[in-house]
């Protein structure tokens, strides 16, 4: 299993984007931002390696590998600035350090619903991983119908100057939940579709989220049944 490092901008790109998009008051903190992005990128690499190691362990020792595939990304500068604005936070480095936990993100797509919790438990059991936040949108889906388990973990990163802890947001969801979230995300960011159609699609998607949940749960039951037989 290979961790797809999708949209992982390099630090030169981050630097260029800050120069282009950040308001002047933020640009004075540029070197702090770059160092923090680099720290978060290392944290994604650390957690990504842990997940890849779990994946190869499952592959060798489990009849069933819970992991379907994984993706990693760094938040781009424009979405970071947008998020600070949306949250009404002052445009300064300390706002990011204290409030934004998803500069580094990893998505783990699992085969079945139970697999979500297997992966989460196996990762969180590791002694150098600290759970900072957990939101279970599978047990309590969002009004949109969105389902996923969100974890924010902190991991130590060993740098030349010493060890620093950095956060990584991990979204764990099934293939069905991921398929749903991709389409709903597309709908959310479509600006050229008339509002009544958006509302209709959103309502349909709400229903499909429940349908998918039932289908995935029933398919998991068949899968477990077949496993018991073999």
For ligand GTP, the binding residues (CB under 6 A) are 83, 102, 135, 142, 144, 146, 150, 181, 184-185
Is residue 102 part of the contact set for Mg ion (CB under 5 A)? yes
| Complex with Mg ion: residue 115 or 169, whichever CB lies closer | 169
Query: What burial letters (b/e) apply to 65-75, b meaning 16+ CB within 10 Å?
Result: bbbbebbbbbb
Minimum CB separation from ligand GTP for residue 126, in Å? 22
Minimum CB separation from Mg ion for residue 12, in Å? 25
Q: Among residues 174, 170, 171, which one has the least CA distance to residue 220?
A: 174
Q: Which stretch binds Mg ion (CB under 5 A): 26-34, 97-105, 195-203, 207-215?
A: 97-105
Number of H helices, E strands in the chain: 8, 6
Instruction: Report whether 81 contacts 75 (CB < 8 A).
Output: no
Q: Which residue has the tokens 């500068």?
A: 77
Instruction: Report whether 51 contacts 106 (CB < 8 A).
Output: yes
Is residue 55 part of the contact set for Mg ion (CB under 5 A)? no
Strand, coil or helix: 4: strand
Minimum CB separation from ligand GTP for residue 81, in Å? 13
| Complex with ligand GTP: residue 31 or 99, whichever CB lies closer | 99
Question: E strand or H helix at 157, and its extent?
Answer: strand 149-159
Q: Which residues contact 52 (CB under 8 A, 6 or more apart)?
A: 1, 2, 3, 70
Q: Which does 184 bind (CB under 5 to 8 A by kind): Mg ion, ligand GTP, none?
A: ligand GTP
Minimum CB separation from ligand GTP for residue 63, in Å? 32
| Complex with Mg ion: residue 65 or 151, whichever CB lies closer | 151
Q: Which does 5 bind (CB under 5 to 8 A by kind): ligand GTP, Mg ion, none?
A: none
Instruction: Report whether 3 contacts 127 (CB < 8 A).
Output: no
CA–CA distance, 22 with 82 (Å, rounded to integer): 10
| Complex with ligand GTP: residue 61 or 86, whichever CB lies closer | 86
Is residue 151 part of the contact set for Mg ion (CB under 5 A)? no
Q: Which residue is nearest to Mg ion (CB)?
A: 102
Minimum CB separation from Mg ion for residue 80, in Å? 11
Tell me the catalytic residues. 169
User: Which positions lie near Mg ion, rule CB under 5 A?
Assistant: 102
């Amino acid at each position: 299993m290979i961790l797809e490092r999708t949209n992982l901008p390099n630090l030169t790109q981050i630097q260029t984007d800050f120069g282009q998009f950040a308001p002047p008051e933020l640009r004075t903190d540029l070197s702090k931002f770059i160092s923090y992005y680099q720290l978060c990128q290392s944290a994604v690499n650390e957690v990504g390696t842990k997940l890849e190691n779990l994946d190869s362990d499952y592959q060798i020792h489990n009849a069933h590998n819970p992991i379907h595939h994984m993706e990693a990304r760094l938040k781009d500068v424009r979405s970071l600035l947008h998020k600070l604005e949306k949250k009404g936070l002052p445009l300064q480095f300390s706002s990011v350090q204290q409030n934004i936990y998803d500069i580094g993100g990893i998505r783990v797509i699992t085969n079945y619903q139970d697999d979500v919790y297997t992966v989460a438990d196996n990762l969180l059991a590791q002694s150098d991983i600290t759970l900072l936040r957990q939101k279970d949108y599978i047990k309590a889906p969002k009004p949109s119908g969105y389902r996923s388990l969100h974890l924010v973990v902190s991991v130590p990163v060993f740098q030349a100057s010493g060890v620093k802890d950095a956060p990584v947001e991990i979204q764990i969801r099934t293939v069905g939940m991921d398929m749903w979230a991709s389409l709903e995300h597309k709908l959310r960011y479509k600006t050229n579709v008339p509002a009544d159609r958006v509302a209709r699609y959103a309502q349909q998607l709400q229903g499909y989220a429940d349908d998918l949940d039932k289908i995935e749960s029933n398919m998991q039951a068949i899968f477990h049944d077949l496993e018991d037989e073999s």
